Structure 1
Amino acid sequence: MSRSLFIFLVHLGAAALAGAAVFGFLALSGATIPAWLLIGAVALLATGPVNSVATGAWQRWFG
């Protein structure tokens, strides 16, 4: 598996989990802010750490 594909798939999985968590939080809290705004903020904040973890995992497993 190529490094780029692996990192893309890890980002995709992390985005799905973050989206589900945000929708769950909004449903439980009754907040009225747009979901896309909170999902966008979570995505921007998580990009660096997800890249770091994905790169380290790829190097350990495949590299």
Structure 2
Amino acid sequence: MMGLTVVILVWVRQTRINTANFYVATTNLENVAARVLKLKFSRVTWAIVVGVIVYVVVLCR
């Protein structure tokens, strides 16, 4: 029983950390694109772009 509890705890913590990292990456990319490239898109669009970048990085790894 202790093993299952630890697995669930690790899974919940990793999910929280990954969600926070994804959010920070989205807002940072949105700010850089707005300031440097003068691009204005919605937060959802930047989240999709970050998702594609993360997917490509995982595939190339």
Shorter-chain TM-score tier: 0.5 to 0.7
Instruction: Report percent identity of matched pairs.
Output: 6
TM-score, normalization: structure 1? Answer: 0.52
1:23–1:32: structure 2 CA closer, same or farther, 3 Å change rule? Answer: closer
Question: Which residue of 2 is the match for residue 53 of structure 1?
Answer: none
The CA deviation string for residues 3-30 of structure 1, in whole angstroms up to 9 with x for no partner, is: 2111111111211211221221132021
How many residues were matched structurally? Answer: 49
Specify the code of the residue in structure 2 equivalent to 1:25: V
Provide structure 1 residue ranges, at least 5 long, that are not aligned to the other structure: 50-63
The CA deviation string for residues 23-57 of structure 1, in whole angstroms up to 9 with x for no partner, is: 211320211444422321212432675xxxxxxxx
Question: Which residue of 2 is the match for residue 16 of structure 1?
Answer: 23
Structure scoring higher RCO (CA < 8 A, sep ≥ 6) equals: 1
C-alpha separation between the residues in 2 aligned to 1:17 and 1:43?
A: 12
1:24–1:8: structure 2 CA closer, same or farther, 3 Å change rule? Answer: same
Larger Rg: 2
Asked if the contact 2:26/2:47 (under 8 Å) is kept, the reply is: yes
TM-score, normalization: structure 2? Answer: 0.53
